[in-house]
Amino acid sequence: MSRGELRVYLGAAPGVGKTYAMLEEAQRRAERGTDVVIGLVETHGRPHTAAMIGDLEQVPRRTINYRGAEFTEMDLDAVLARRPEVAVVDELAHTNVPGSRNEKRWQDIQELLDAGINVLSTVNVQHLDSLNDVVAQITGTTQRETLPDQIVRAAGQVELVDMTPEALRRRMAHGNIYRPDKIDAALGNYFRVGNLTALRELALLWLADKVDEQLDRYRAQHGISAIWEARERVVVALTGGPEGDTLVRRAARIAARSKGADLLAVHVARSDGLAGADPAQLARQRVLAESLGGTYHQVLGTDIPAALLDFARGVNATQLVLGASRRGRFAQLFSRGVGVTTTALSGPIDVHLVTHPEAGRGRRTAGVPAALSRRRRLLGFALAGIGMPLLTLLLRALPDLSLTNDILLFLAGVVGVALVGGLWPALVTALGGSLLLNWFFTPPFYTLTIAEAENLLALGVFVGVAVAVSWVVDVAARRTREAARASADAQTLATVAGGVLRGERPLPALLDRLRETFGLRAVSVLELAAGAEGRPDRARDEGAWRVVASVGDSPAGSPSAGETAVPVDDRLTVVLSGRRLEAADRRIVEAFAAQAAVALKQERLAEEAATARPLAEADRMRTALLAAVSHDLRTPLASAKAAVSSLRSPDIEFDADDREELLATADESLDRLGRLVANLLDMSRLQAGALGVTATTIGLEDAVPRALDELGPAAADVTTDIPADLPAATADPGLLERVLVNIVANALRYSPPGRPPTVTASAHAGQVELRVIDTGPGIPEDQWEHVFLPFQRLGDRDNQTGVGLGLALSRGLAEAMGGSITPETTPGGGLTMVLRLPAAGERPEL
């Protein structure tokens, strides 16, 4: 049985028409004779969407009882038993009610696909895991229901349901998305033009990436290696040299000329694993490339032009940026160089050769270290000076050996010296051995004259083989040492990086790991003080520097106070104290110094954000308070004033019904004003600790109905479930009623039409718990505490529905009575407020 195919309708925001488009496709397939059923569709009260269902068969939903409330979910077993060709399942990212077989709806859909059933579904871009934090930053709202991107990427088809922000706002204003009482708040918050434009761009870019993956997969399956310029991709090649910064910035400018172009920086490392580039330079250039919106990559290869072009073709690059050769003119006579070779082999890829200050100056390489230690080289010279005469004496005592045997034994001695002392002792041995062979063993003896040509050839071959063997042994020893050094550097980098990742504060963790790795006494990061830029003595003057971070004992206060100073930029320097480092170690320290600068920048950004947060909070509270004065106070005053003025007007004669209506309006407005003033006064008393509490025994079966009566007709549909045997609570009756009125009113405000809140009660561990359950939009868990702040509402952008003191005051009153209020997530979506009070007989914790 083949697996079913998933088709997803992707939208940038609610209301763009995903469910409508999905149902249109279902109707088309049904008209073609396909067996289509609806597993679950959420119309959200939108008549056009409901009408599109038409006569499509709907599988009855399954009812689940959870915590005294009933919820409906897709009946997965019924759909599997029905086995249609196509199942329509809305809202791919939905979280199922506890008690369902799977936690998420996309897991239900996976079972349908495994059963060979094709599925049509919908999802908004804010529900994708990879974009969840970006959407939260843009809109100020964190989506709790998310799903892995891979689920949508694996879909056979993803169709974007697109709509301009202006058109979507018109749909909202016409009442085609939300009910009328939510339209103004939605238009002023989530559905602002800027938000919708950003969400639309996110959806387009995400879908473009998926299309790009499909294109790459198609080219790989069909063996297409030619470059298809579907999107500009600029690849910049980095060698780890000082010209890298110039190349990266030049490539970024080229990429910026095309909207949506990609910037990729690549370094071709030697495939033998030996160090060939400056890690500090590469680290800085990687940070630069990423700060300009690019990505960094590293590939292995012995043939640099071939490896570079393989990478460029693999990412479907359209342009390649290379630096002009740093080699001198003499070196270019023997090899065309990477740039020229790459240009000749690039084919359809445009190659930019960028000049820079280092071009033609030759490669700056550090002095090549000796392959072997000084002790082994001296031992090699000693072996040559003693071994060759001893070998000569031994061969003189064996007169029956031929010249060929003598040469082989001398060659063995040269190899032995090369293994012990390296190149130069072996060369001295080869030269001395050739003279000894000529003097003692080549006729005529005891002269440097060679009589026979074959003897001359034999000695020449001896010298050549001896030199070649010495060179090979020396190169092998040098490569072994370089490989060991590269392995040690890699181990150091991995250790320090791991320490940084595991540390709570990146900069101190980086410096501490660096100190431990190299056995230092202290490490400090110094920043040049303002006004010290032009001082020539600043390296020794501690007053010219400021220690921004340090670890260890007695950190240096100036660059000259430590054993090693590693400049990061014009203002930052990392100073190491305790011992001097070798030149090879310094390169690794430079790499970490670059990372230290990045970590310092991140810490400062975090500090600036923390400093700005209280100011923003204070400004937000002032704005909210102004909203309260300008709206919450002004509106009831204006209503009462208008009603009273009308009644007092001698120009109009009102009948009894009109007078009653005007008096009711004035009475209602004044009650609203009184409640607001009471809330403000109670909040001020709570914050001043002057609120009086008279605790007594009270039953919730009496308190809840009084609170609902206080709310009037709006609370008529609220469902209550209070057990008859529920213990009484210890609370202040007046304050408890205020708390209940506030939290039930909050639940009513956000409950969808036809699904009023539910109030349930239970007893547990000496406490009476009352739950006010709504199935509205809910609140992200990371914002639960925010709603209990004064002048705070869901989203904190709506200044038309009140000052937002209700929940803050309710928590304060509950705590004053020895109780608490905590939010929970309603299964299936929504918010549950849990009021806990001490049971009668239990001593409240005041």
Task: Compute the C-alpha angle 597/603/605, nearest 5°.
Answer: 105
Phi, psi of 839 (to 5 degrees): -70, 155
Contact 835, 737 (CB under 8 A): no
The full 3-state SS of 73-98, as one line of letters, equals ECCHHHHHHHCCCEEEECCCCCECCE
Q: Which two tokens stand for residue 429?
A: 């041995």
Instruction: Please give the Cα distance from 814 to 818 (Å, whole number).
Output: 7
Task: Compute the C-alpha angle 373/377/381, nearest 5°.
Answer: 170
Q: What pLDDT shows up at residue 235?
A: 92
Q: What pLDDT shows up at residue 208?
A: 77
Contact 761, 748 (CB under 8 A): no
Instruction: Please give the Cα distance from 351 to 234 (Å, whole number).
Output: 10
**Element housing 484 (H / E):** helix 453-502
Q: What pLDDT shows up at residue 394?
A: 85
**Element housing 826 (H / E):** none
Contact 198, 149 (CB under 8 A): no
Instruction: Please give the Cα distance from 37 to 57 (Å, whole number).
Output: 5
Q: What pLDDT shows up at residue 773?
A: 92
Q: What pLDDT shows up at residue 619?
A: 59
- Number of helices (H), then strands (E), in the chain: 25, 24
Closest C-alpha among 197, 206, 150, 136 to residue 169: 197
Residue ranges with strand state E in 743-795: 758-764, 767-773
> Which residues lie below 8 Å from residue 242, measured CB to CB, with a gap of 6+?
281, 358
Convert the pLDDT of each residue in 397-428 to its tens digit: 776 778 778 778 888 888 788 778 777 888 88
Convert the pLDDT of each residue in 313-348 to its tens digit: 877 788 899 988 766 555 555 556 777 888 888 888
Q: What pLDDT shows up at residue 783?
A: 75
Contact 16, 162 (CB under 8 A): yes
Buried b / exposed e over 154-184, threshold 16 CB at 10 Å, is: ebeebbbbbbebeebbebbeeeebbeeebbe
Closest C-alpha among 290, 285, 291 to residue 323: 285
Q: What pLDDT shows up at residue 273?
A: 46
| Residue bearing tokens 């704005």 | 623
Greatest distance between any 2 Cα atoms in the chain: 151
Q: Which two tokens stand for residue 183?
A: 């339209």
Instruction: Please give the Cα distance from 700 to 397 (Å, whole number).
Output: 120
| Residue spans of the chain under pLDDT 50 | 273-275, 364-368, 499, 501, 503-504, 627-628, 630-631, 688, 690, 793-804, 843-846
Question: What secondary structure letter does DSSP report for 437?
Answer: I
Q: Which two tokens stand for residue 223?
A: 């063996």
Instruction: Please give the Cα distance from 532 to 548 (Å, whole number).
Output: 16
Contact 323, 356 (CB under 8 A): yes
Instruction: Please give the Cα distance from 681 to 56 (Å, whole number).
Output: 58
pTM beyond 0.75, yes or no? no
In the three-class reduction of DSSP (H, G, I as helix; E, B as strand; rest coil), residue 101 is classed as coil
Closest C-alpha among 281, 178, 292, 194 to residue 239: 281
